[in-house]
Amino acid sequence: MIDIIIIGAGTAGLTAAIYARRAGRTAVIFEAHAYGGQIINTPEIENYPGIANISGFEFATALYNQATALGAEVKMERVVAVSDNGAAKLVRTDKGEYECKAVILATGAKNRPLGLENEKALVGKGVSYCATCDGMFFRKKTVAVAGGGNTAIEDAAFLSNYCEKVYVIHRRDAFRADAKEVDRLKGRENVEFVLNKNVTGLIEDNGRLCGVEVTDKFSGEKTVIDVAGLFVAIGQAPDNTPFANVAALDDGGYIKAAEDCKTGTDGVFTAGDCRTKTVRQLTTAASDGAVAALAACGYIDSL
C-alpha cells in the first residue's frame, strides 16, 4: 500500500512529496495536466525567499526534479474520486484504483472565465488565459488584459515587451497587485489603463476576436476597444467537487482547513491554493506542502 497519495503536482504537491520522501514515506503524485501548476506560466518570480529571480518554468522544473530524485513517483492520471475506508483510502483515477494510508489534496485552482456568451468559442481565436503561453501570437498587435491582480499586471508587463499596445481593463481604480509592479507598468509608453470598466462583450470578425466592449461602472456608458487578443486574468476558482465527500468545502469551493492543513477526515490533508486562506502565494503553497506532509507522516505513525 502506498503511504501518501498527493493529488496535484503544483508547488504545494511537489513540496509535500519532498517532505514525505525525506521522512521515509512512499509518495505518489497524481497530476491530470502537467507538473508545476499555475506558476509554470509566470515569466519571472522575484518574491521567493533566497531566489532573487527565476522563471516559473525553471522553478517548477527544479521542484519536480528535486521531488523525483528523492524517489517520489509522478503519475499522469486524473483523480476522479477519493473514498475513506478508515485506515485505508481508495483513490480512483481515470486509469485505475490505488490504496494508500493518507491523502493530500493539492489541487490548486483554475483560471476564472469572464462568463461572456461567446468566450468559450473564442478561446484560441483571440481569447487566452495565459499570456506566457499565447503572447507570442500577438507580436506587434494590440491586446487587452482584464484584471487588476498580480497575474494581470505581470501579463500586461510581459505583453508590453512585444505587443504594439496593451490595454489593462480593470473594474476598479485600485489594484490587488503589488503597488511596485503597477507603478512600473504605468511607466511603459505602450500601456494604457482602462479603469472602472468591465468587459461586457467580445466582438468577433469571421470567428476571431477583433474587439472588446467595455461598460463604465458608474455611467453605464459602453465603448468598444479594437484588440486582436484578450488575456483574461481575473483570478482563479478551485475544482474540489470530486472530493467533497472527504473534505468540506467553503462557499467558494475551497477546502475548509486551517493552517494545520487537516480536513475533517482523518488521514486526508490539503495544501496550497485549493485550501481556504487569504494569501495564495508560492511561499504559502510550499509552506502548506511541508505542513500537510508532516501531518500525514504523523498520522501514519499513529496508525
Which residues in this chain contact ligand NAP in the complex, by CB under 6 A? 42, 45, 47, 146-152, 154, 171-172, 176, 198, 233-236, 280-281
Residue 194 forms beta bridges with which residues? 169
Q: Could you give phi then psi for residue 186, rounded to 5 degrees?
A: -60, -25
Ramachandran class of 256: left when φ > 0, alpha when ψ lies in -120 to 50, beta otherwise: beta
Buried b (16+ CB within 10 A) or exposed e, 24-45: ebbbbbbbbeebbbbbbbbeeb
Closest separation in Å from C-beta 246 to ligand NAP: 25
Ramachandran class of 82: left when φ > 0, alpha when ψ lies in -120 to 50, beta otherwise: beta
Nearer to ligand NAP, 5 or 166 (CB): 166
How far is it, in rounded angstroms, from Cα 128 to Cα 292? 33
Nearer to ligand NAP, 73 or 239 (CB): 239
- Choosing from 130, 210, 216, 239, the catalytic residue is 130
Closest separation in Å from C-beta 95 to ligand NAP: 31
Closest separation in Å from C-beta 50 to ligand NAP: 15
Nearer to ligand NAP, 275 or 280 (CB): 280
How far is it, in rounded angstroms, from Cα 289 to Cα 271? 5
- Choosing from 3, 100, 134, 155, the catalytic residue is 134
Nearer to ligand NAP, 95 or 172 (CB): 172
Closest separation in Å from C-beta 267 to ligand NAP: 29
Closest separation in Å from C-beta 34 to ligand NAP: 18
- Nearest residue (beta carbon) to ligand NAP: 149
Nearer to ligand NAP, 55 or 281 (CB): 281
CB 288 within 8 A of CB 105: no
CB 271 within 8 A of CB 4: no
DSSP 248-301: -B-TTS-B---TT-B-SSTTEEE-STTBS-S---HHHHHHHHHHHHHHHHHHHH
130 is catalytic: yes
| 301 CB-contact burial (10 Å; exposed 0-12 / middle 13-18 / buried 19+) | exposed
- Choosing from 133, 226, 250, 260, the catalytic residue is 133
The residues annotated as belonging to the active site are 130, 133-134
